[in-house]
Structure 1
Amino acid sequence: MESAAAGTTGSITRIEEELSRVAAGINPRLYGEGRPPLDGLGKASRSRFALLLSDALGGGRAGAERVAVCAELAHTASLLHDDCVDLSALRRGRPTLNERLGLNAGILMGDLVVSLALEEAWKISPHTARSLVEAVGKMVQGALLEERARHRRIGRDEFLEIISLKTGELFRWTAVETCGRAGTPALLETCARVGSLAGSAFQVADDVLDFESDPSFSGKDSLKDISEGKATLPVILALEDGAVSGEVSALLDALAAAPPGDLEPALRLAALLRERGFTAAAREKALAMIAETFPLIDTLPVRDAGADLKNFLLTLVHRNA
């Protein structure tokens, strides 16, 4: 019997092969010279989550792999749209599609990839496709709320609502559909909660990386979120601290007024957040979300596989890229 690690590797390979099959169906004239928009899995976080959750449920890998393909397609579509909204130049260390071909092409390619995700979901079942439509709708709502919150001072509750929709929802969908494929309907609510918490924790960790990562290592533009006025947990925590809230507010005002390309206010704010411990505090909040999943995971049928799932969820928060 193959080990869990070997089994995951084999499953990831099969998921990549399925994504390559889908990518091969995209007319190369649509994306020009260079790699297709579905090239590579990146961290494959949603795929690994589906596989390890299925193991903990005692389900087979085949159903989880099919769910993972849909999740990765929906995630890729969201990245294409995010890059357009944020005017990002880099993704996974390479020029974004919108950087190469323009904003309109990036938006339209994102729309195309959404349709491919729904097509693959329909092949699983009409119910799976309908539920993915609902999940994508909630992801878009989260992105719109985030857009409306740019350069605004929002509270922790509003921030948590945004990330639970924008990022947590696809993890939640992945968990629910994996649970369904595993034949364990009594655990749907448990899996949904695990997915939502995992996705929200993932997003908080991602926000922290905006302040801490080196673009040559992370493959993404650094300080992009803060420069664009996006709400992030380190900033919210700093605004809640009376000792620094005034200084943070002044830097946020300077950011909003800064001309394009002027990174000085962003650099000063990032340094303050790191030095005063607010990025570390945000990561601790993400860890607390993951810790909240542990009692839920303990109720799943296969305890050894549940331990593997817990360890994986911890890596989502401790990552540096």
Structure 2
Amino acid sequence: MDLARELSDFLVLVEQRINAALVDGDAGPDVKGDTLMEAARHLVLGGGGKRARPLLVRLFGDAVGLPGEQLVEIGVAAELIHSASLLHDDVVDGGMFRRSRPTVNARWGNIVAVMSGDLILSTTLLRLVELDARMAQSALSVVAEMTRAAIAEVEARGIMDLPLAQLRYIAEGKTGSLFGWCGKAVALIARAPDAVQRFDGFGRHLGVAFQIADDIRDILGTDVGKPQYADLHSRTPSMPMLLALAKDDGLRRKLRDAWAFSSLSPERAQELGAGIIATGAVDQSLERLNAEIEAALDQLGPFADTVGGQELVGWARKLSAGITDQVRSRVA
């Protein structure tokens, strides 16, 4: 069986296990349908999720020779932790659409969205305790890091001179920490201590690159299922935005004036977005994305020569190539 087929079969198993984890069985005998799990299924199932984290788990497993069946539960846990964070993020951001569908908070309200995220998270951690207490402990640490990064992002809103180091801290905490956990958990269960830090480091750098890619797509309008200029509308600093403001005082004044109002008109957002692109900040952001990817690949060390490691390298390179193509076609 070729690797592509093996990966596909693995993701099918992950999907089946996610379905089983989101049933109403624990709702109680007198409850006709668990609203929280219904809301969770709305987000997690059938919405076009890329399942990037379970895929990472499988590739890390291949890098240390761990059979696929031992990786399924880790992949499920990573995806469900991610899903819980999305439920909470949509409440914080007031998001109305995700993956081209209404968010849980838009359909059921903030209370259901928050509690659904809490239920997914607690259920996932309990499953990890049964699997391996060490993984549950490391997952709890990651959840704490993700939470700190999320509030740091909220506190950064409207700050036009946010240090780039702080922006990177937010990206690593919100995305990189869970990417890193995918590798760390695999290394723990594989009893491969030399892989723990290497896989964690790879995942963290790759996660930062993923966040920069999202920032670029937001400015270019190439993020399918998400409205363009979401960061400008929410006053959330992004990599292209901060790099552009550091180069253009006139743009800084325009943005400050625009953020003085409660909302941005589509025309104003378009003007500001074009101004950001005109500074060359998107190209600079791409350079930083590629630097993070190179740092990620350096972390792999000897594992880069394994079958799984080669796939991880290819996956990272594909991210770079895809964003580069988008930048060249939209900025040229």
TM-score, normalisation: structure 2: 0.88
Aligned-partner Cα distance in 2 for 1:24–1:62: 22
| Selected match of 1:38 from 17, 41, 44 | 44
Q: Name the structure 1 match of 2:87.
A: 80
> Quick check: 1:286 aligned with 2:285?
no
Structure 1: which 5+ residue stretches go unaligned?
Answer: none
Match of 2:49, SS? coil
Q: Name the structure 1 match of 2:115.
A: 108
Amino acid at match of 1:284: E
Task: Give, in angstroms, the shift of residue 251 of structure 1.
Answer: 2.8
Aligned-partner Cα distance in 1 for 2:67–2:34: 38
Task: Give, in angstroms, the shift of residue 11 of structure 1.
Answer: 0.5
Q: Name the structure 1 match of 2:9.
A: 10
Q: Name the structure 1 match of 2:176.
A: 168
Q: List aligned pairs for 1:62-77, cutoff 5 A.
A: 62-77=69-84
Amino acid at match of 1:203: Q
Identity percentage over the alignment? 27
Aligned-partner Cα distance in 1 for 2:117–2:83: 8
Task: Give, in angstroms, the shift of residue 260 of structure 1.
Answer: 3.0
Q: Name the structure 2 match of 1:134.
A: 141
Aligned-partner Cα distance in 1 for 2:258–2:81: 32
Q: Name the structure 1 match of 2:212.
A: 204
Aligned-partner Cα distance in 2 for 1:186–1:25: 41
Q: List aligned pairs for 1:145-294, cutoff 5 A.
A: 145-152=152-159, 153-214=161-222, 218-241=224-247, 244=248, 246-260=249-263, 262-294=265-297
- Would the aligned equivalents of 1:139 and 1:166 in 2 still touch at CA under 8 Å? yes
Q: Name the structure 2 match of 1:51.
A: 58
Amino acid at match of 1:206: D
- Would the aligned equivalents of 2:156 and 2:236 in 1 still touch at CA under 8 Å? yes
Structure-2 change in CA distance of 1:279 and 1:134 (3 Å): same
Q: Aligned residue pairs: how many?
A: 315
Task: Give, in angstroms, the shift of residue 63 of structure 1.
Answer: 2.8
Deviation digits for residues 33-60 of structure 1 (CA, Å, limit 9, x no counterpart): 8953321461111111111121122222
Amino acid at match of 1:70: A
Structure-2 change in CA distance of 1:206 and 1:115 (3 Å): same
Structure-2 change in CA distance of 1:116 and 1:33 (3 Å): closer
Aligned-partner Cα distance in 2 for 1:146–1:319: 26
- Would the aligned equivalents of 1:53 and 1:306 in 2 still touch at CA under 8 Å? yes
Q: CA RMSD in A?
A: 2.2
Deviation digits for residues 65-95 of structure 1 (CA, Å, limit 9, x no counterpart): 2211111000001111111111111111111
Aligned-partner Cα distance in 1 for 2:257–2:62: 49
TM-score, normalisation: structure 1: 0.91
- Would the aligned equivalents of 2:145 and 2:173 in 1 still touch at CA under 8 Å? yes
- Would the aligned equivalents of 1:156 and 1:233 in 2 still touch at CA under 8 Å? yes
- Would the aligned equivalents of 1:23 and 1:36 in 2 still touch at CA under 8 Å? no
